[in-house]
A and B are shown apart, each in its own frame.
Chain A
Amino acid sequence: MSAPLTVPADSAAIAPGASPATGFWRRALRHRSFVLGAALSLLVLGAALLSLVWTPWSAYDIDIASKLHPPSAAHWLGTDVFGRDIVSLLLVGARSTIMVGVIAVGIGLTFGVCLGLIAAARKGWTEELIMRMSDFTFAFPAVLSAIMLAAVVGPGMLTSITAIGIFQIPTFVRVTRGSANAVWAREFILAARAAGKGGFRITIEHVLPNILSILIVQATIQFALAILAEAALSYLGLGTQPPQPSWGRMLNDAQTLLFQSPMLAVYPGAAIAIAVLGLNLLGDGLRDLLDPRLARER
């Protein structure tokens, strides 16, 4: 007896459609916090990109003669204590912010996801070691590790990026390990192992794709945290160094003139708030859109 002669009773196909991604954009455009978050994030990204090709004034030239000008046709938001154009500073500051975020989250994501995946795949003492190490790292807030790092290699953008990145690793380790363990417990992993797949291939082909949406959401939220941390470090003088403009730096400069020109603190503060709010809304929206189950677990 070879090929079945009769058509099996269960041959009625279930709705043929495309991959599970179908309809993502349609749902996304109807999702309010996703749309708002994406708009705010794009605003910041747009500002950073614009600063690469055009700023109303140079963000670096100091012109003490025209310091602390109020908003005017020439300087839309006025000038700071060194006579630099606020709009130009904000635009270039967006660039620093995004760079710090991308690199710091990149560090956290790369190391954190690798370690988390290894912990979930190897179990046993490997998992124990990785988790204890990340608990240990987590105990040092970014500010503290930046201060320690700055004491050794001196303050600067690189120092703050590294410190923030290292601080982000444990969060990614935890999120990755937790969700990877849940995937490892699913039956298709057993089936994949029964088909002869080793831990590495299962991790790459089965575990990673199934936790990708969780990682994207987490990365978005970590991006917001990185921006806040960078602002805090620059404000403390440990991050971006003058003359490189950054929003945290602008806050620091405005501090001494808080009563004289309070708006100088409001602009960078608002910029930080927009970026952080935008990313958080985007993360929430993505969480709903990518995996409805996650939204319910919150």
Chain B
Amino acid sequence: MSHATAPLIEVRDLGVRLNTSRGPAQAVRGVSFALRRGETLGLVGESGCGKSVTALALMGLLPDSAVVSGSVRLDGAELVGLSDSSYCKLRGNRISMIFQEPMTALNPMHTIGRQVAEPLRRHTGCSAASARKETIALLDRVGLPDAAKRVDAYPHQFSGGQRQRITIAMALACQPDVLIADEPTTALDVTIQGQILDLIADLVEERGMSMILISHDLGVIAENVQRMMVMYGGTVVESGATDAVFMRMGHPYTQGLFRARPRLGARKGTRLKTIAGTVPELADLPAGCTFADRCGIVEARCRVALPAAVGVGAGHDVRCLRTDVSMADAAGAVRV
């Protein structure tokens, strides 16, 4: 395989078992995907579907009690089962992560300059002076006004959007190959969300990074990634090129998410269509299809075993036994 086509990060049959208050439970099952350099992948699903757990598994940041199975390869090197000290050399250096809460993702006791410079000094071993220069350049690049002056300020002196810019600078300091953004704009004002997403998109393109963007918002996914995976109950229920998934939604859950999205300009008084029921607790995941309890076209056989993913188009897979029915309906579902 030539270098250009070899995947940068390849995940095969990733599984995570977590200790919950009600005993061990399978939080993530059978997640597989591959990303080449410069590609972007979206991960979408309601809260509690296992998106963050998947991301933390890739980062090696799950609690020690978690059991990770399957394989995660970064440039061909296996990460599952890697020692923490080896993982430390990768995190922030080759694979970075941005978190949901910019208000809490920074240490209140240290200046932002110090926190952004840290990964630089750690991984590149550069001097304090050059790290500082680089930090100011980075802060400037992520659009922090007056970066040179404010580099010695503390986190509480910045707004939420500014703090998210700072955490982005921190994540990108060492020019990582892979960026995982876990709901990077969920905690921000709507007006700022777009700016932050644009910034991330620009930086991803500028630096040729691969990105995994996590969101519960289909709109965010639609506009920002080439490929997407829809997660439900710890499994990927639908995956494919973003256009293809939106064009021909195959899974009843994807269709439900689409119908439930809030729309701008919706007529006043129109009620949001929500998906009936709630995301199941990890400990009560149904035996067969994880979506069975909320699915409108569920049949007895759906509850027997986890449905296999079936191809419904080029690189477009759906984990449902009744795609014939659901995709016949889909035309109606997608019409706005």
Contact = CB atoms under 8 A, between A and B. Distances in A.
B107 A206 contact: yes
A4 B198 CA distance: 10
Contact of B84 (A10, A190, A198): A198
A155 B300 CA distance: 81
A10 B89 contact: no
A198 B109 contact: no
Contacts of A11: 145, 162
Contact of A14 (B146, B159, B170): B159
Interface stretch (A16-24, A99-107, A172-180, A243-251): A16-24
B99 A191 contact: yes
Interface string A172-204: 000000000000001110111111111100000
B88 A19 contact: no
A191 B206 contact: no
B91 A195 contact: yes
Contacts of B90: 196
Given A3-B143, A196-B89, 8 more contacts: A10-B192, A11-B145, A16-B153, A20-B154, A194-B59, A196-B92, A196-B93, A197-B118
Contacts of A9: 161, 191-192, 195
Contacts of A192: 107, 118
Contacts of B145: 7-8, 11, 13
A12 interface: yes
Interface in B78-117: 84-85, 88-93, 96-97, 99, 101, 104-110
B40 interface: no
B123 interface: yes
A2 interface: yes
Nearest to B145: A11
Interface centre among A193, A196, A199 (most CB of B within 10 A): A196
Contacts of A10: 159-162, 189, 192, 195
Interface residues of A, number: 36
Interface string B153-172: 11011111110010100110
A205 interface: yes
A124 B88 contact: no
Interface of B: 59, 61, 64, 84-85, 88-93, 96-97, 99, 101, 104-110, 118-119, 122-123, 140-141, 143, 145-146, 150, 153-154, 156-162, 165, 167, 170-171, 173-174, 189, 191-192, 195, 199, 202, 205-206
B106 A191 contact: yes
Nearest to A192: B107
Nearest to A18: B154
A209 interface: yes
Contacts of B173: 195
A206 B174 CA distance: 21
Given A19-B154, A188-B104, A195 B195 contact: no
A194 B140 CA distance: 22
Contacts of B158: 13-14
Nearest to B85: A198
A195 B160 contact: no
Contacts of A209: 107, 109-110
B147 to A, nearest CB: 11
18 contacts: A2-B141, A8-B143, A13-B146, A13-B150, A14-B157, A20-B156, A186-B104, A187-B99, A188-B107, A193-B91, A194-B92, A195-B92, A196-B122, A199-B84, A205-B110, A206-B107, A209-B109, A210-B107
Nearest to A205: B110
Interface centre among A8, A12, A20, A194 (most CB of B within 10 A): A194
Given A1-B206, A4-B199, A195 B118 contact: yes
B105 A191 contact: yes
Nearest to B158: A14
B156 A194 contact: no
Which 6 A-B pairs have CB atoms at the shortest separation, nearest pair first? A10-B161, A196-B92, A195-B92, A187-B104, A196-B91, A194-B97
